[in-house]
Amino acid sequence: MHIERRSWSRWGAAIVLFGLLTPSITRAADKEQLPIPRYVSMRHGEVNVRVGPGTRYPIAWVFTKQNMPVEITQEYENWRKIRDHDGTEGWVNAVELQGKRYVIVQGAIRSVRGDPSVDGAIVARVEPGVLGKLEKCPGDNLDWCQVDWGAARGWLRRSEMWGVYPQEIYPAP
């Protein structure tokens, strides 16, 4: 009998301790709210986009390109409403998204520069629809962002890509 009570005491202490820690865990999670809207990218190459926030909603379309930049416009539990560069919207599970930032070239063929200036040497040309990993958008020159294109790394004007806000400093200071 003495052994059972001691065993129960250990369980009781564990339950009380968990009860005391749970509010702290919840408060910590609440403090980590990220801004909306915000840009992220697709973690996987094939992602179901639904008409509503849950698996009970039908699939509207399927993303087929990993690292595609998307904008989160709403959140509901573990679901995120996203918008792509064409303006198409739908809901995906948060696990399908990643914080790595990518951009997509828009418009015409663009010149990637070695320096953030129209006078900078051209290091590459990129076509519309090409994805690049966003490296930085400094606060001292808000017109340009540095992007890693895989085969080349250089500067492109914000107006020539989608996936970064007009006055955004990236990474955030």
Instruction: Give per-residue pLDDT as tens, 6-37.
Output: 443 444 434 333 344 434 333 344 446 889 99
Instruction: Give per-residue pLDDT as tens, 125-168.
Output: 999 999 999 999 998 888 999 999 998 999 999 999 999 999 99
Quote the pLDDT of residue 32: 64
**What is the Cα–Cα distance from 48 to 64, expressed in whole angstroms?**
9
Mean pLDDT of the chain: 86
pTM for the predicted model, two decimal places: 0.80
Domains observed in the chain = 38-100 (2.30.30.40), 103-162 (2.30.30.40)
Mean pLDDT of 106-122: 97
Quote the pLDDT of residue 134: 98
Largest CA distance in the chain: 86
